[in-house]
Amino acid sequence: MEGVGGDAASFPVPLNQWKNNVWRTYQYYLDKSTPHSTYRWIGTLVLLAIYVLRVSYIQGFYIVSYGLGIYILNLLIGFLSPLVDPELEVSDGPMLPTKGSDEFKPFIRRLPEFKFWHSITSAFLIAFLMTFFSMFDVPVFWPILLFYWIVLFVMTMRRQIAHMIKYKYIPFSIGKQKYGSKKASASSSGPRGD
């Protein structure tokens, strides 16, 4: 009896080791892609194009596309929202400026860009794989789904954009901010002539 249990216990070890090695390799390449945001987004757009071509070629899986659109809308809301919403929570710490005289506070997203990209790419990949299983091809009238998604998108983004305007935050940044006044004062002093 003990010999049989020993054989069964030794079988999962190589499988677990293989899964651990695959996971480490995946994490390694994911970490290597972190600073290359442009290439990551280009890869996601290529995956999106493949998914759209597959769905349009098959002319089905509209319910999968609708679910994908709702999930991406949810991710977009998380990406465009601040970590601390000034309307919901009053804090003693730094807040977003509401007047021109207020000091600038950095915008901290509820969903960082890397997690936003990773979630969207994973969602496209899962939706693409779902198109290979006919049980997800539910017959629906796709213009109704498209209309409902557009209405939901407009209503959600209208509220989100109004919130962004009210609290004066811009969720998109292209690198480190540069101030013109510092550059002008540095150039006026000139190089040292020691």
Which helix H or strand E contains 8, and what residues bound it?
A: helix 2-10
Report the range out of 16-20, 110-114, 136-140 with the highest average pLDDT. Answer: 16-20
CA-wise closest residue to 63 among 137, 171, 120, 121 = 137
pTM metric for this prediction: 0.66
Q: Is the pLDDT of residue 31 over 80?
A: yes
Tell me the one-letter amino acid at 183.
Answer: K
Q: Is the pLDDT of residue 1 over 80?
A: no
CA-wise closest residue to 142 among 47, 53, 59 = 59
Q: What is the mean pLDDT of residues 162-190?
A: 59
- What is the model's pLDDT at position 9? 53
Secondary structure class of 82 (helix, strand, coil): strand
Burial label for 80, CB within 10 Å (0-12, 13-18, 19+), is buried
The band of 154, judged by pLDDT with boundaries at 50, 70 and 90, is confident
Alpha-carbon dihedral sign for residues 105, 111, 112, 113: negative
* Residue 144 phi, psi dihedral angles, 5° rounding: -65, -45
Q: How would DSSP label each residue in 36-51? A: -HHHHHHHHHHHHHHH
Secondary structure class of 109 (helix, strand, coil): strand
Read off the tokens for 5.
Answer: 């249990």
CA gap 62, 120 in Å, rounded: 18
CA gap 89, 73 in Å, rounded: 24
